[in-house]
Structure 1
Amino acid sequence: MMIRHIVLIRFRAEVTEAQIAAMFAELEEIRTKISGVLSITAGRSESPEKIERGYMHGFVVDFDGWDALEAYQTHPDHKALGAKLVAHADGGLDGILVFDLPVGE
């Protein structure tokens, strides 16, 4: 069963798009270090509905199962990037939403 890991981030106003792009580039680097990562998509919302409520950036990581998600969560590079995201988020951890969705059977 595939696991879709969805992360939405409300960055502080002073965080630049270049800083965000650098953090998302780190996310791509992690991909090469953990087996079971199927895809990573990251970026800024372009929703015509405009109801992001400040969560203008995010990423989705598809894993081939719960074990791969656990390997990602416990990997030191993920922990370092996670700390960086929290440090740049508006309100720290309160500025980040995480949603893990099982897809398929």
Structure 2
Amino acid sequence: MIRHIVLIRFNPDLPEAEVADIFDELHAIEGKVAGLMNIRSGRSESPEKIERGYMHGFTADFTDWAALAAYQDHPAHRKLGARLVANAVGGLDGILVFDLPVTAGEG
């Protein structure tokens, strides 16, 4: 399994309702890409408070690298990606992506 981790520093003037709408658009991709197992999204609630401005994020789990590649090429993902970049501090500089292979039992 591949866990796709995305952290976002949204523009400070972006209303939480708009963030919620962006995440609704993200969740609408579920069921449209073969191998996309689930998506989780939200605002950080970390007691450590070391988010460094990355207060929102999501994870998407894929069966394998091919499924992640299909997701990256999907038109709904491309549209959402453009919306994320447009609403992040500094555009693409306000987004971190980390893809982590997870073996059975680590989930």
Q: TM-score range by the shorter chain?
A: over 0.9
Residue matched to 1:29: 28
Residue matched to 2:84: 85
How many angstroms does 1:78 deviate by? Answer: 0.3
Residue matched to 1:51: 50
Residues 6-17 of structure 1: matches in 2 within 5 Å? 6-17=5-16
**C-alpha distance in 1, partners of 2:15/2:52?**
19
How many angstroms does 1:56 deviate by? Answer: 0.0
How many angstroms does 1:38 deviate by? Answer: 1.0
Identity of aligned residues (%): 65
Which 5+ residue runs of structure 1 have no aligned equivalent?
none
C-alpha RMSD of matched pairs (Å): 0.8
TM-score, normalised with respect to structure 2: 0.95
| SS of residue in 1 equivalent to 2:53 | coil
The number of residues matched between the two structures is: 104
Q: Residue 60 in 1 paired to residue 55 in 2?
A: no
How many angstroms does 1:39 deviate by? Answer: 1.1
Residue matched to 2:96: 97
**C-alpha distance in 2, partners of 1:65/1:21?**
28
Which 5+ residue runs of structure 2 have no aligned equivalent?
none
How many angstroms does 1:36 deviate by? Answer: 0.7
TM-score, normalised with respect to structure 1: 0.97
Residue matched to 1:76: 75
How many angstroms does 1:32 deviate by? Answer: 1.8
